[in-house]
Chains A and B, each alone.
Chain A
Amino acid sequence: MKIMKEADERFVNIEKKIGMFIIIALIGMAAGIAFIGIQQDVFTPKTEIFFVADSGRDITEGQAVKLSGFKIGKVKKLSLDDIARVKVELSINKKYMKWIKSDSKARLTKEGLIGESIIEITPGSLHAKQITENGIIVFEREKGLTEMAEELKNEIKPVLLDIKQIVHYVNDPQSNFKQTLRNLEKVSGDLSATRQYLDSLVQNTEKNLSVAIQNTDKNLTTAMVKVNSILDSSKQTIENTDNVIKRFDKDMPNLLRMVNKSLENVQKATDEIKKATEQASPQIPSLLEKGNDVADSAREVIDSVKQVWPISLYIEVPENKILKIDSYE
């Protein structure tokens, strides 16, 4: 070995070279560790706060905790308490603690419809106290699609039942509504007949009077008899009309009451529908938006996959096609 050292210049000061190499490597490793630590917020001072949930579903250790879209910490630990509820310990960067107030809420939500689950903390009101270390905040779980659909179903179901009852009530031949309509129809029919009868009577009267005047002396007595008879008939008719009007007057308040009642029922049903729609409506646009996002993403993914070799080899490029012209047809 001594012979080699003396002969080869590369081995001169080899100890110093190796030493330098190891020192540089160690410095590099330390810098790398420090860099990763800074990136992972290892050296950032933290504060622990808690919330208690009924279930640990979708909550995992290391899960991001966000406030107004910023990552402010992570889920540190999950544990069960004495009554089997889940105690969740959050590790929050100290500099963000000023925004977490006693009325802040932790909410389990998703980033997008199919994104990762995160814990989102609401900032809380301006005048509320800032939460201290090991403080507890309220937790609520964002409703899923199934829960929202179930809720919507529960709200709409009674309304639909009411509507069904109303329709059934309206269609029932024995209901007040139908009876009212029948009475109205009957009254209007009677009135029409009476009017026709009166018209014809007046016409006959005019006709007979003119004849009577022309044949004054000769037919005076006869005419008078006829006039008397006509007047009797008229009196009878007027009495009939009077009876009809009286009957109408008597029935009308009942009819109006029944109509009012029906209208009240309809109004009530409309109000309930409106209320249910108002409750459901804020969630509908976001659901639609999310649905559109998912469809767009899926289309983008499919388009991208289509362009990947060798899949692209099997996908026919679309083109304008000409119809085959048959020489025999």
Chain B
Amino acid sequence: MSKPVNSEQYSVFSKKTEYKKLFTIHYSLFTVYCLLFTVYCLLNIGCGHKPPTLSDTHLKAIDFNQRAEHAFKKGDYKKALNFYHEALKVNRSVENIDGIAINLMNMATVYRKLGDKDNAHKCVDEILNSSGIIYSSLRLTDASFMKALLFTDDGKYDPALEWTDKAISFCKSAGCHMEGSIYNLKAKMYLLNKDPNSAIIYGNKGLELNRKYDDVQEIANSLRLIAEAKTSLNQFEEAIKLYEDALSMDKALGLSKKIAIDLMGIGNIFLKQGKCEDALKYYQRAHSAGESAGDQQVVKDASNMMDKCLQK
């Protein structure tokens, strides 16, 4: 039998129930507020993130740079040079150090394409011999690499090697991904200097680094360089295999000139082995690729080699 509830007991019971209800309501509200606050914070993190805004001057410089790149890709080097010059001027006006270095480097690249080595050297020297502005190690790597390329073009391998070493040193301090390209250039220099064994060593080093950084274009370059070195050492089977690997990569990248060079390389191996018919097929393919790409030098080389084959 339960006891009858008096008025005092009922009042206490009623208050307890009320407090429980109030606690539940407050607890629910608190949870909802916490959730809303969390959503608010997340929205602030997401929506509040604004992309860095650039000034009109910076945008103008970038616009010139992009127009120049477009002209360069179309093969209009003089127009590209003018645009890079304008981009450089705008970057100088706001002392955008990286912008100055990038456009100087690009101008050097265009001058090299135009065969104006003196001006190319001048552009690069401005980065390397700067007294007032301190350029980043990455840009110094680019400049040293370009210096090495310019000396290689002139057949001056000693200064070229010095600059490749400097480029490697800058690249290491900048933590850049260009080391493989620099080793490739070293391999090329040794190959041109009739030292295929050293070329293979540096080519392999370049190949390893390029694979590490997944730079497909430079991987193909490494393979081609090693193939060329192996050809001169009469290691034909390995060389063909390397050329074929480089060829498939160049095809994937759509580099017509490189495709023609790879095909010429394989043709040369067959010719060295006295297999003129096989060599002729590759020369014809190289001729066709070179002709389509508008590369007169490749077309001329392929034609000469085809004549050689036909005479035998």
B102 contacts partner chain A, Cβ-Cβ < 8 Å: yes
Whether A326 and B221, one on each chain, are in contact in the complex, defined by CB atoms closer than 8 angstroms, is yes
B66 contacts partner chain A, Cβ-Cβ < 8 Å: yes
Whether B11 and A7, one on each chain, are in contact in the complex, defined by CB atoms closer than 8 angstroms, is yes
Residue of A nearest to B62 (CB): A318
The prevalent SS among residues of A at the interface is: loop
B237 to chain A, nearest CB (A): 23
| Separation of A3 and B7 alpha carbons in the complex (Å) | 7
Whether A3 and B142, one on each chain, are in contact in the complex, defined by CB atoms closer than 8 angstroms, is no
Whether B184 and A327, one on each chain, are in contact in the complex, defined by CB atoms closer than 8 angstroms, is yes
Whether A312 and B182, one on each chain, are in contact in the complex, defined by CB atoms closer than 8 angstroms, is no
Whether B105 and A327, one on each chain, are in contact in the complex, defined by CB atoms closer than 8 angstroms, is no
B82 to chain A, nearest CB (A): 15
A125 contacts partner chain B, Cβ-Cβ < 8 Å: no
Whether A323 and B105, one on each chain, are in contact in the complex, defined by CB atoms closer than 8 angstroms, is yes
B7 to chain A, nearest CB (A): 6
Q: Classify chain B's interface size.
A: 35 or more
Residue of B nearest to A311 (CB): B51
Whether B217 and A309, one on each chain, are in contact in the complex, defined by CB atoms closer than 8 angstroms, is no
Whether B91 and A320, one on each chain, are in contact in the complex, defined by CB atoms closer than 8 angstroms, is yes
B52 contacts partner chain A, Cβ-Cβ < 8 Å: yes
Chain B 61-101 interface residues, beta-carbon cutoff 8 Å to A: 61-62, 65-66, 69, 72, 87, 91, 96, 98-99
| Separation of A7 and B7 alpha carbons in the complex (Å) | 10
Residue of A307, A317, A324, A325 contacting most chain B CB atoms (<10 Å): A325
Whether A328 and B105, one on each chain, are in contact in the complex, defined by CB atoms closer than 8 angstroms, is no
Whether A327 and B181, one on each chain, are in contact in the complex, defined by CB atoms closer than 8 angstroms, is yes
Whether B221 and A323, one on each chain, are in contact in the complex, defined by CB atoms closer than 8 angstroms, is no
B154 to chain A, nearest CB (A): 15
A285 contacts partner chain B, Cβ-Cβ < 8 Å: no
| Separation of A126 and B54 alpha carbons in the complex (Å) | 55
Whether B224 and A328, one on each chain, are in contact in the complex, defined by CB atoms closer than 8 angstroms, is yes
- Decide yes or no: A307 and B51 within 8 Å by CB, A7-B11, A327-B182 being known contacts: yes
| Separation of A126 and B181 alpha carbons in the complex (Å) | 85
Count of chain A residues with a beta carbon within 8 Å of a chain B beta carbon: 22
B163 contacts partner chain A, Cβ-Cβ < 8 Å: no
| Separation of A306 and B53 alpha carbons in the complex (Å) | 11
B259 contacts partner chain A, Cβ-Cβ < 8 Å: no
B230 contacts partner chain A, Cβ-Cβ < 8 Å: no
Chain A 276-329 interface residues, beta-carbon cutoff 8 Å to B: 306-310, 312, 315, 317-328
B218 contacts partner chain A, Cβ-Cβ < 8 Å: yes
B3 contacts partner chain A, Cβ-Cβ < 8 Å: no
Residue of A nearest to B187 (CB): A327
Across the interface, B98 reaches (CB within 8 A) one of A309, A312, A320, A326, namely A320
| Separation of A7 and B103 alpha carbons in the complex (Å) | 87
Whether B49 and A309, one on each chain, are in contact in the complex, defined by CB atoms closer than 8 angstroms, is yes
Whether A321 and B69, one on each chain, are in contact in the complex, defined by CB atoms closer than 8 angstroms, is yes
Across the interface, B103 reaches (CB within 8 A) one of A309, A312, A317, A320, namely A320
Across the interface, B106 reaches (CB within 8 A) one of A307, A323, A326, namely A323
Chain B 208-240 interface residues, beta-carbon cutoff 8 Å to A: 217-218, 221, 224-225
B59 contacts partner chain A, Cβ-Cβ < 8 Å: yes
A305 to chain B, nearest CB (A): 12
Residue of A nearest to B14 (CB): A4
For A3, the chain B residues whose CB sits under 8 A away are 7, 10-11
B188 contacts partner chain A, Cβ-Cβ < 8 Å: yes
Whether B51 and A312, one on each chain, are in contact in the complex, defined by CB atoms closer than 8 angstroms, is yes
Whether A315 and B98, one on each chain, are in contact in the complex, defined by CB atoms closer than 8 angstroms, is no
Whether A323 and B69, one on each chain, are in contact in the complex, defined by CB atoms closer than 8 angstroms, is yes
B109 contacts partner chain A, Cβ-Cβ < 8 Å: yes
For B98, the chain A residues whose CB sits under 8 A away are 320
- Decide yes or no: A320 and B65 within 8 Å by CB, A307-B51, A325-B142 being known contacts: yes
| Separation of A307 and B96 alpha carbons in the complex (Å) | 24
B185 contacts partner chain A, Cβ-Cβ < 8 Å: yes
Whether A328 and B11, one on each chain, are in contact in the complex, defined by CB atoms closer than 8 angstroms, is no
For A327, the chain B residues whose CB sits under 8 A away are 149, 181-182, 184-185, 188, 206, 218, 221
For A319, the chain B residues whose CB sits under 8 A away are 62
| Separation of A258 and B302 alpha carbons in the complex (Å) | 71
Whether B50 and A312, one on each chain, are in contact in the complex, defined by CB atoms closer than 8 angstroms, is yes
| Separation of A148 and B105 alpha carbons in the complex (Å) | 54
For A325, the chain B residues whose CB sits under 8 A away are 109, 142, 145-146, 149, 181
Residue of B nearest to A310 (CB): B46
Whether A326 and B217, one on each chain, are in contact in the complex, defined by CB atoms closer than 8 angstroms, is yes
B258 contacts partner chain A, Cβ-Cβ < 8 Å: yes
Chain B 174-214 interface residues, beta-carbon cutoff 8 Å to A: 181-182, 184-185, 188, 206
| Separation of A317 and B52 alpha carbons in the complex (Å) | 8
18 extra interchain contacts, Cβ-Cβ under 8 A, other than A306-B51, A325-B146, A327-B188? Answer: A3-B10, A309-B48, A312-B51, A317-B51, A320-B61, A320-B87, A320-B99, A321-B102, A322-B106, A323-B110, A325-B145, A325-B181, A326-B181, A326-B218, A326-B221, A327-B182, A327-B185, A328-B221
5 contacts between A and B (CB under 8 A): A309-B47, A317-B52, A320-B96, A320-B103, A327-B184
Chain B interface (Cβ < 8 Å from any Cβ of A): 7, 10-11, 14, 46-52, 54, 59, 61-62, 65-66, 69, 72, 87, 91, 96, 98-99, 102-103, 105-106, 109-110, 142, 145-146, 149, 181-182, 184-185, 188, 206, 217-218, 221, 224-225, 258
In the A-B complex, the 10 residue pairs with the closest CB atoms:
A327-B184, A328-B221, A327-B181, A327-B185, A320-B102, A318-B62, A320-B99, A309-B47, A320-B65, A322-B102
